[in-house]
Amino acid sequence: MSTRVGPLVLERRALPSPRVMGAVRGGAVFLGLLVGAVVLLAGSYPVIGSYKTMVSNAFGSGDAFAETLVSAAPLILTGLAVAVAARMLLWNIGAEGQLYMGATFATACALTFPGWPRPLLLALMVAAGLFGGAFWALGPGFLRARLGVNEIVTTLMLNFVAIAWVSYLVHGTWRDPEIQFPISKEFTTSATLPSLFGTRLHVGLFLALAAAAFIWLMLRQTRWGYEIRVIGESQSAARYAGMPTQRNIVLVMLLSGALAGLAGMGEVSGIVHHIEPNISPNYGYTGIIVATLGRFSASGVVIAAVLFGGLQVGGFALQTADVPVPPSIVQVLQGAILFIAVGAEVLARFRIGWHKPPSGEREAIGGVEP
């Protein structure tokens, strides 16, 4: 009942061990940081000093933690977007594009109705953000449901299209003629989300947490959430129970896109206050890591998002450290942590032991020597 991998023997556990699963994720972060240390050493950067800078800039003070939460807010939303789709075995790699589309639709409202009362305009922008993201996910969802077209390729290609589209808009229609760079006009105050505690932290964090609570409740308490979980476990069981698989594929993709779109709304309305083609430092792609490390659960996504928000903020702070480190180290760390986390999951699914030499095996099987 076991397979050999080199000198090791893997024995499948009846159920993945949740205790080991938790330890694996913590251990993956630690080992990922070790890989990062090797990479920093290879570039002759100070390891301890760099990590100290990262930690103190991400978690060292109230203001630092506020910055971490600023990055965590969109990561919670993109992480949820990926997680909710993954629950149904759909891979939405397009959160980045859906984020940009949400931002675009929200910006359209902000620029069209700049004089509206703030609560009204913000509510409209939230709706527009949700709609924009959902709109961008509709095509891939529909194609997957009706024609079986692989959603990984379609969602991903649309990322590039969305960013090119934003670039097109700010080079033309939306360009602020008074500014040298191609960016849109600055939003009016009524189009900006209120900030908190005099930091860059904004109400978008509450939107993200509310979305997490919504997804948690939806998956656990509603009939629809139940259907999603069943379809994710077994398509054939779901079909046998009469659950509408195709319709649910489209609906879940719409929900997934809407969540990512809301992240885009939060970024333009809460942080940048205009739109341009680089409002997101890969929040959509990082959302995939966040969802994976959070084991595709709402609570796990929130925790992983805060961690990766800190990684993002700490990594950017390295650029201005005493010995500046290139910001690409953040992606190296992200990739390494994800690698180790998925690779180490084998620990939770299998019991691992050393392969015993043949003589021992004979003893174990027969116990009788001639």
Partner 1 sequence: MNSWVLTLQVAMAAGVTLVFAALGEVIAERAGVLNLGVEGMMLMGAVTGFMAMNSTGSLAVGVLVALAAGAGMGLLHALLTVSLRASQIVAGLALTIFGTGLSAYIGRNVVGTPAEHSFNSISIPGLHDIPWLGPILFEQNLLVYVCYGLVAAAWIVLFRLRLGLHLRAVGESAGTADAMGVGVVVMRYGAVATGGALAGLAGAYLSLAVSPGWSEGMTAGRGWIAIGLVIFARWSPLGALAGGFLFGFMEALNFEAQAIGITISADLLSMLPYLFTILAVVVAAVAGGRRLGAPAGLGIPYDREQR
Q: How far is the CB of 10 from partner 1 (least distance, A)?
A: 8
Distance between CA 200 and CA 69 in Å, rounded?
9
Q: Closest CB to partner 1 among 1 and 48?
A: 1
Distance between CA 163 and CA 156 in Å, rounded?
12
Q: Closest CB to partner 1 among 62 and 172?
A: 172
Q: Closest CB to partner 1 among 120 and 346?
A: 346
Q: Closest CB to partner 1 among 93 and 231?
A: 93
Q: How far is the CB of 63 from partner 1 (least distance, A)?
A: 27
**Single-letter code of the amino acid located at 345:** E
Which residues make up the interface to partner 1 (CB under 8 A)?
Answer: 1-3, 5, 12, 39, 43, 91, 93, 139, 143, 147-150, 152-154, 156-158, 160-161, 164-165, 167-168, 171-172, 285, 288-289, 292, 326, 328-336, 338-339, 342-343, 345-346, 349
Closest of 223, 267, 254, 281 to residue 139, by C-alpha: 254
Q: How far is the CB of 243 from partner 1 (least distance, A)?
A: 20
Q: Closest CB to partner 1 among 130 and 340?
A: 340
Q: How far is the CB of 266 from partner 1 (least distance, A)?
A: 23
Q: How far is the CB of 47 from partner 1 (least distance, A)?
A: 14
Q: How far is the CB of 19 from partner 1 (least distance, A)?
A: 19
Q: Closest CB to partner 1 among 66 and 304?
A: 304
Q: Closest CB to partner 1 among 160 and 240?
A: 160
Q: How far is the CB of 169 from partner 1 (least distance, A)?
A: 9
Q: Closest CB to partner 1 among 92 and 192?
A: 92
Q: How far is the CB of 16 from partner 1 (least distance, A)?
A: 12
Structure tokens at 6: 């080199």
Distance between CA 325 and CA 308 in Å, rounded?
18
Structure tokens at 127: 């709706």
